[in-house]
Each structure stands twice: as C-alpha cells, then as structure tokens.
C-alpha cells in the first residue's frame, strides 16, 4: 500500500516567467493573517511508500527569465498578528517502508533567477513580524529501509542567481517576530537509516551565480528567538542514522564560479539562538550482532550571524569583501545521547556568535 498526504497554505503569491525577453517588475505583498497547513496520516502499515508534506508560505514571489535581463524591486511584509505554521505527523501502528515527513513554514520568500540573461538588478525588502513554526514527526513500530523527518522554518528568505549573468542584487531583511521554531521527532521500536533534521533561520540570503560578475549587498537584522529541535528514539537500530538541529539568526551565502564576487554584509542579532539534538537508543544492529553499519550522529549547530563567500580562482574569480557583524543574543547548542550497547556514536555541539568565511580555490587546487 502506498500513502501520500499533502497540505499547502499560501498567502500572497507571485510567479513570473519570461521565456525570451527582458523583465522589469515592481512587487509589493502584505499579509496580516495566519497561515496553517496540516498533513496528518495514521495507518496500520505502508508497504510501498508513506509520504507526508505540509507547506506554508506567507508572501512568496518567483521571478525567472530564460534569456533576458531582470530589473526588479520587491517588498514583502508579514504583520505582527500573523503566524505561519506547517505540521506533518505520520503514524504507522505496525510498520512503514521508506516513510518521509516534511514540514516547511516561511513568512517571506523571494527568488530572482535568469539563465543566459545579461544581468539581474534586483532589490528585495523583507520584514517579518509574525511567528513561524514547523513540525515533522514519524512514529512507527518498525521503520524499514529508511525514514526521514525534515522541518524547516524561515522568517525571510531571498535567493538570486543564474548563469552567464551579471548580478547587482541587494536584500534588506528584518525579522522582528517573536520566534522561528522547527521541531522534528522520529520514534520507533526498530529502525534503520533514520534521518531527522530541524532547521530554523531568521534571515536567509543565498546567491549562486556562474560566469558573470556578482555584486551582493546584504543587510540583516533579527530580534526573534530562533529554535531548532531534533529528537530520535529507537529501541533497536542499525544503518547510518542522524539527528541534526541547525539554528541561525542571520545567514548570507554567496558563490560565484568563473568571475569575481564583491560582497558587502551588515548583520545584527539581538535574539537568542538555540539548537538541540537528541538520540535515545537501545541496542545497535537490532540485537543480532552482525557486521552491518551501525552509526549514529547527533549534531547541534547554532549561529548568531554567518557569512560565507566562495569563488573559483582557477575559473577566473576573486573576492572583495566588506563585513560587519554584531551579536548580542545568547547562542546555545546542545547534544544529548543516551543509548545501550553496540554501534558507533558521534555527538557534536557548536555555538558561534559571529562567523565569516571566504574561500577561493587557487591554481593547482589549493
């Protein structure tokens, strides 16, 4: 038996696609209501597939061209009384084969993309004053072959990039809501290759470009509480398993292949950032003592402000960077592992206030 459940909640949406030609666009989106999606599945067993997906977006805009330029200004606002919630809960009383449970909640999202276009000149202004919550759970007597639970919560998300394109893009992101929270949980009497991932982000700005100069300006401010929790409980376990929690207040990631990157970033964080990953296990290898891989990795990572820039120098690229980061929030990461005999266990916890990484691949690959 194959079972699929999907729930989607959308506030304001804009999708623009120009196959051949240039595009000039102005976009304003405002949302003051609540968005909620729930996908709840309860079965005895699922022998083929068992998939649950819950997706909630407040304001979203996707602007794409194939072979033209983009000149765009976009402003998105989510009000203080708004909330974005996505819940995906899966229960298999007996057993499930390769089940997945995925929940994604985003207040504001914008994307600029062109392929073989001359340039993108774009500004994105995003303000979120609401709460964002995602939850993905899996509960089964037996998890066969693999099992995945993924929860993602973002206050503001902006993306830009393309190929054979010159970029001049600017994003100003303000996340002032009370909290951005992501929770995952997987529980089973017997499981293998179990992956639980919770990701919570206040402001996210991602740029991926190739074979064209990229100028990136990023201004990010967060005051919200950012929380990511990932919990896994397995009485018997085998294979490669992981419980991962990642929480970051402000994140800017920029990569440019084949040309130069100029990146300017200003980040402020006054909110607390917490990442918690747990694993509670019984006996590894299902108690049979064979030679199967029996690994479990529990990892919690929390950042106040994070910037990363990458170019390929062998492809003809260098980086010019100007970065200012201020963090006054408490940054916490915690990993808890409680297990019985057998298996290889790895636990990591990393908490960083400010992080900036710039990387170039030099000639010769060094």
Residue 38: pLDDT over 90:
yes
Alpha-carbon separation of residue 219 from 43, 169, 214, 357 (angstroms): 47, 12, 16, 17
- What confidence score (pLDDT) does residue 286 get? 53
Does residue 366 belong to any structural domain of this protein?
A: no
Residue 110 included in any domain? yes
**Structural domain range at position 70:** 2-361
Confidence tier at 55 by pLDDT (50, 70, 90): very high
Instruction: Answer whether residue 140 is part of any domain.
Output: yes
Model confidence band, residue 366 (pLDDT cutoffs 50, 70, 90): very low
Give strand pairing partners of 161: 113, 208
Please report whether residue 99 resides in a domain.
yes
φ, ψ for residue 317, nearest 5 deg: -150, 145
Report the pLDDT averaged over residues 35-45.
97
pLDDT digits (tens, 9 = 90+) for 267-298: 999 999 999 999 999 888 754 444 566 799 99
Average pLDDT, the chain: 94
Write out pLDDT tens, residues 123-181.
999 999 999 999 999 999 999 999 999 999 999 999 999 888 999 999 999 999 999 99
Whole-number percent of the chain with pLDDT over 70: 96
Residue whose tokens read 């994307």 = 111
Residue 293 CA to its chain's centroid (Å)? 28
- Residue 364: exposure state from Cβ atoms within 10 A (0-12, 13-18, ≥19): exposed
- pLDDT at residue 209 tops 90: yes
What pLDDT does residue 302 have?
98
Tell whether 152 is covered by a domain.
Answer: yes
- Do residues 184 and 136 make contact, with C-beta atoms less than 8 angstroms apart? yes
Rg (CA), the chain: 22
Per-residue model confidence as pLDDT tens digits over 58-81 = 999 999 998 889 999 999 999 998
Strand partners, 320: 262
Predicted confidence at residue 289, as pLDDT, reads: 45
- Residue 275, token pair as written in the block: 């990442």
Domain count, the chain: 1
Q: What secondary structure letter does DSSP report for 66?
A: S
pLDDT one-digit tens code per residue, 304-345: 999 999 998 777 789 999 999 999 999 999 999 999 887 889
């Amino acid at each position: 038996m194959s079972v699929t459940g999907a729930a989607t909640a959308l506030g304001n949406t804009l999708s623009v696609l120009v196959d051949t030609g240039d595009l000039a666009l102005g976009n304003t989106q405002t949302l003051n209501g609540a968005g909620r999606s729930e996908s709840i599945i309860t079965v005895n067993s699922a022998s083929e597939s068992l998939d649950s997906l819950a997706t909630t977006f407040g304001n979203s805009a996707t602007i794409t061209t194939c072979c033209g330029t983009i000149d765009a200004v976009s402003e998105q606002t989510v009000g203080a009384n708004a909330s974005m919630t996505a819940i995906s809960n899966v229960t298999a009383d007996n057993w499930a084969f390769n089940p997945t449970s995925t929940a994604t909640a985003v207040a504001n999202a914008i994307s600029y993309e062109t392929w073989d276009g001359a340039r993108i000149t774009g500004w994105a202004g995003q303000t979120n004053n609401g709460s964002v919550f995602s939850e993905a759970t899996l509960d089964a007597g037996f998890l066969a072959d693999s099992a995945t639970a993924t929860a993602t919560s973002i206050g503001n998300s902006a993306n830009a990039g393309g190929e054979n394109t010159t970029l001049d893009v600017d994003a100003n992101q303000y996340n002032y809501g009370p909290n951005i929270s992501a929770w995952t949980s997987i529980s089973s009497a017997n499981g293998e290759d179990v992956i639980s991932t919770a990701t919570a982000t206040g402001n996210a700005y991602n740029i991926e470009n190739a074979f064209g100069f990229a100028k990136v300006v990023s201004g990010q401010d967060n005051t919200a509480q950012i929380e990511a929790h990932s919990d896994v409980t397995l009485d018997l376990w085998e294979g490669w398993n992981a419980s991962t929690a990642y929480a970051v207040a402000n994140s800017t990631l920029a990569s440019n292949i084949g040309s130069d990157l100029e990146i300017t970033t200003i980040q402020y964080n006054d909110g607390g950032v917490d990442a918690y990953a747990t694993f509670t296990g019984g006996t590894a290898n299902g108690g049979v003592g064979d030679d199967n891989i029996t690994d479990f990795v529990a990892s919690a990572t929390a950042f106040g402000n994070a910037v990363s820039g990458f170019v390929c120098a062998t492809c003809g690229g260098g980086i010019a960077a100007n970065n200012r980061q201020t963090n006054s929030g408490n940054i916490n990461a915690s990993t808890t592992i409680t297990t019985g005999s057998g298996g290889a266990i790895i636990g990591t916890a990393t908490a960083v206030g400010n992080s900036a990484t710039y990387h170039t691949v030099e000639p010769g690959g060094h």
